[in-house]
């Protein structure tokens, strides 16, 4: 379905107000990507579901980076933004592919994929904060 990449692109903007009240982006974002994967696997598409998954992860990351650009005063300085731009795309593509891999094998294995993705995303957030903010 062509609307899935569009939905992936707007998802960070939908999640942003939620993350203001629930400051656990590693959990919220990976659950949103799990929903995207569920939709990819549920919807018959003419292109490879793997490529559609990569596209959704890429667009999710680009949109999130745009959101950081709008809020740079809250998330750090220009160095933080540049570092996040360089690392966010591979992070989101990797985590959505992990979810896709496990979910496509079995619905029972989806929890493993989500858990691994949350752990990777949490580790990423910690390392970015340490590298860019010294916290």
Q: Which two tokens stand for residue 30?
A: 């990976």
Number of H helices, E strands in the chain: 6, 0
Say how many domains are in the chain. 1
Backbone angles phi, psi at 2, to 5 degrees: -70, -20
Domain that holds residue 86: 3-133
Note the pLDDT of residue 76.
Answer: 64
Query: pLDDT tens digit string along 6-44?
Result: 999 999 999 999 999 999 999 999 999 999 999 999 988
Q: What is the mean pLDDT of residues 101-105?
A: 97
Would you say residue 89 has pLDDT above 60?
A: yes
Query: pLDDT tens digit string along 63-77?
Result: 988 887 777 666 566
**Sorting pLDDT into bands at 50, 70 and 90, what band is 112?**
very high
């Amino acid at each position: 379905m062509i609307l899935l990449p569009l939905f992936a692109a707007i998802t960070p903007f939908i999640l942003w107000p939620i993350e203001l009240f629930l400051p656990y982006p590693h959990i919220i974002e990976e659950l949103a990507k799990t929903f995207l994967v569920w939709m990819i696997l549920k919807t018959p598409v003419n292109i490879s579901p793997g490529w559609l998954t990569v596209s959704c992860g890429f667009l999710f990351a680009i949109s999130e980076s745009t959101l950081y650009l709008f809020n740079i005063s809250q998330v750090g300085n220009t160095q933080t933004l540049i570092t996040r731009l360089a690392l966010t795309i591979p992070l989101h593509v990797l985590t959505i592919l992990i979810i896709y891999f496990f979910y496509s094998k079995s619905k029972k294995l989806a929890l493993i994929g989500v858990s691994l993705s949350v752990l990777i995303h949490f580790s990423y957030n910690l390392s970015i904060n340490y590298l860019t903010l010294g916290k």
